[in-house]
Each structure stands twice: as C-alpha cells, then as structure tokens.
Amino acid sequence: MTAPHLPKVAGIDSTVPPPAHTVPPGPAAPYAQAAPGALIQDRLAGWVSDLTTLHELTERLSRTSTLDGALDELLRAGAALVGARRGLVVLEPADGRGPDTTVGLGLARADLGHLETVPRAATAFGRLLDATAATAATAADAPGPAVTEIVQPDLFADDTLDPRHREVAVRLGYAASYALPLVTDAAGRVGAAAWLYDEPAEPAERRRHLIGLYVRHATEHLARLVELDRARTTEATLRAELLPPRLPRVAGVQLAARHHTGPRGGGDWFDALPLPDAALGLAVGSVTGCGPSAVAAMGRLRASLRAYAVMEGEDPVAVLSDLELLLRLTEPARSATALFAYCEPALRKIVLAGAGHSPPLIVGERRTEFVETSLSAPLGMLACWEAPSVEMRPEPGETLLLYTDGLLHRTGEAMDRAFAKLHAAAVSVPKAARDDPGAIADHVLRTVLPEGLDAPDGCDSEEDVVLLAARFE
C-alpha cells in the first residue's frame, strides 16, 4: 500500500519518521556546554516554531466547512505532529444522536473493516471511547482523573495484547500506536483518534504537547460541525417527507421526477396525485425565501393544493384561486409561483393554469415547443389572482416537462438564453430515450447543466431544481 504524502509544516518535518527507539544522550563534555544565552535563544526559537506550526494547522482546519473535510484534516495534521504515516478517527458523540463514522488515513476500507473485528476493549481508541463515557456517567458522583492519552510504543512486546489485535496489526503492518480522546467541556465526548507507526515508536514529549493543543482546538471545531451536520440532515429529512415519496401509477401515462435542493434549502416542490374518474393532477411550484421557514411553507402549500385538486381539480383556475386566497390570508408576507395541470390520460387531454410560473415544454418526435400560457402574477402578489386556463392534447409518445425557475437560473445566463438552452436540450433528446420519461429528464439536466447540479459560486446558482416529466402513451 502506498502511504499518503503528508504536508510539511513549520517546525515539523512530516516526511521524516521518528526513530524507532530513543537513545538517551550521554553527558555533555564540560568544554561543550553552551552559554546560558544560547540555550534561551534555542528554547525561544523552538517555541516560535511550535506556535507557527499550530497556527498553520489550526488555520487550515478552520477553513474546512464539512465534517468529512475536518476529519481528514485532523488526521493529516495529527500524523505530521506525532510523526506517523497512518491513523484513524472514530466519530461517536456521547449523546447517541450521531453521526457515527470511522475515517482512515492511509487505511483502505478493508483495513478499517479488519480493525473493527478487534474487540473494542482491546483497541486504544475503543478504550478511550469507553473511558470517556464512563467518566461522564460517574463524574457527578465520584469524579476521577480523565484518560488523556494511550501510548502503545511496542505492540508485539506487550504480553497482554489481544490475539486478534496482534493478528490485525501483523496483517496491516503497524507496530505501535498513539491515541487521544476527542472531548469538549460543552459537548462531552465526540470521538477518539489514533495514529499508527510502522515500527516500535512513540512521540516525544514536545510532540505530545503540540498534538494535545491541536486536538483541543480541533475537537471544538468538530463539535460545531457535528451540530451543523445534524441540522442539515434534519432539514433534508423534513424536506424529503414533504415531497411525494413515490410517483403514482396511472394508466396511459408514465411519470418521472428529478429534484435537487440548493445549499440554502429553498422551497421548490412538485406533486403528482391520482384524481377521480381516472384523472391525474400534476403540479410544480416554488415559494419565496429559503431555509426551514420556506420548507415549511412549501409543505403547507403543497398539502393545500392537493386538497383543492381533489375537490375541483378539473378546473385548474379554481384550484390556484383557492390557493392564492389561502396564501394571502395565512401568509401575507410570502408569495409563490405554481402551475397545476389536470390530465385525462385516456383522452390525452390536459387543462393547465399557471401563476407566475414558467411555461411547460412538450417534447415529441414531430414537435418540441413551449406550451403557450397566459401571463399572470405569482400567488400573493395581487389582491385577487385569476388567469385563463389552457387546453392541449399531446400526441401518443409525447412528454410534458414541468420545471421550476431554478433550472433556468442555474445556467447563469439571461432568461431568454436559458429558455433557448432548455429548448435545445429537449430537441436533442436521442430517439432511443424518448420512450422513457426518466431518460428524457436526465438528458435535459445533463445538457442544460453540463457541470451538474452542484451549485457554483453565486446566489442565483444556489436555487432548487425540479423537473417533472409525464409521457403519454
């Protein structure tokens, strides 16, 4: 296995491994004794070098904005400080809310799997995790000294080493380890980190002091990223629960949807619901704002539209009028765009109405064109909303594409050019893909956004993307 090349930082040469054994220096000759001033200068130079090292490493860590990036940086910086080539960090917050993960440096996934077969109590990081948990549980009644580190300078010289641990160490080729807990005063235990040496060795006292200071700062940073990761996961779960978990199966039509949420967490949504008399309702929309409040408003708006669609879905204008009235009465400070289509697949008939929304696109072998809809204001912008509906009849094999403005905004171009780009992408759909609405949606997304859905810099590019495709048989 090829070991990763660790970065070189001030004061620590990460390319030079520590000596396997430290030989105590002999007594200095009387004539070789340095002057006191020179000793002080050497010590000050060492302190400056150490402070420079910590500053560079902590600055690099502070620039990480994701949990995975911070864990990787912690392992690399720690390896440079203690003079090791490999290591692993086990993230296991004490409150049990996760996320629980193990990340390795210079260790493949199979290597981490081998380490997981070692009994927890036989590993240094496992003992640290259990010790910090036990300390936290008994601190109120009988506080004791906290475990600050576990040094194993020569694993194979330890007669008490677990046989499975010895077997894994031989297999992976490490002979010593140095482990530290990841603990903060506010969050408690966050996890544990361990670095592995290829030969018997241990970090010198100076290196231990430096890694202790660095890990203290790194753990605070990790704790903040853990909370941020939990918040993002909760918001993503909530957003997913507010959107259809699956698309319905309706005779005469095939459905596919693609949805991507931007970094700010916007309020774009889609829906497809069976209606009485074998009809189908299709809807897309977007609410203003971003973050949890926009997601909650999106959920309320979508649920309300479903109710209105069941009651009077054959009249899309009435559905959007009721939705506009509800929005104006319950959330007067918010506006939204929406498009609702009432489909009768057996008759291949569609009646649709839009409120400030981009026109849908019909894609077929003989035509690829935008559906002409009347101009109208978004919901909540006027005292009373109303716009005429549009009726169309797709040919067999044609696909109706409904989308949100985020797809156009992410192109980074003016709206007229974005519409032209979307139309060109629909025209270029390969003939072999026209029978599958999912393949059509994927082709359009790849063509309109060749760099993918990951948002580049710029606020406009961070909007959500929704694409709903309905192919009529």
* 165 plus 260 within the same structural domain: no
Residue 5 domain flag: no
48 Rama class: left (phi>0) / alpha (psi -120 to 50) / beta: alpha
Backbone dihedral angles phi then psi of residue 33, each to the nearest 5 degrees: -65, 135
Do both 351 and 409 map to the same domain? yes
Same domain, 226 and 286: no
Domain count, the chain: 2
What is d(CA 99, CA 412) in angstroms, rounded to the nearest whole number? 35
For CA atoms 440, 445, 446, 447, the dihedral sign is positive
Do residues 185 and 327 both lie within one domain?
no
27: in domain:
no
User: Residue 200 domain-assigned?
Assistant: yes
pLDDT at 69: 95
- The label of the residue with tokens 């241990």 reads 202
Element (H, E) at 163: helix 163-172
Side chain identity at 380, as an amino acid letter?
G
Answer whether residue 388 is part of any domain: yes
DSSP letters along 186-203, please? Answer: TTEEEEEEEEEESSS---
> What is the pLDDT, as a whole number, of residue 18?
45
Q: Name which of 109, 118, 212 is nearest 167 in CA terms.
A: 118
Task: Give yes or no: residues 229 and 366 share one domain.
Answer: no
Q: How far apart are CA 108 and CA 413, in angstroms?
A: 43
Residue 342 lies in a domain: yes
The reported pLDDT for the residue numbered 316 is: 93
Q: Which residues of the chain have pLDDT under 50?
A: 1-5, 7-11, 14-26, 28-32, 136-145, 455-460
Q: Are residues 225 and 286 in the same domain?
A: no
Domain that holds residue 465: 243-472
Q: How many helices (H) and strands (E) does the chain have?
A: 11, 15
CATH code for position 247 = 3.60.40.10
Q: Based on the fold, state whether residues 377 and 304 are members of the same structural domain.
A: yes
pLDDT at 133: 63
In a domain, 325, yes or no: yes
Last residue of a domain, one of 235, 252, 279: 235
Q: Is the domain of 120 the same as that of 207? A: yes
Residue 12: the pLDDT is 52
Is residue 38 in a domain? no
**What angle is formed at CA 316 by the lines to CA 315 and CA 320, rounded to 5 degrees?**
125
Residue ranges with strand state E in 11-139? 86-91, 101-105
- 371 lies in some domain: yes
Are 97 and 173 within one domain? yes
Residues 190 and 258 in one domain: no
Q: Of the residues 211, 235, 259, which one is the last residue of a structural domain?
A: 235
Residues 379 and 444 placed together within one structural domain of the fold: yes
Of 215, 235, 255, which marks where a domain is finished?
235
State the CATH number of the domain containing residue 126. Answer: 3.30.450.40
Same domain, yes or no: 111 and 49: yes
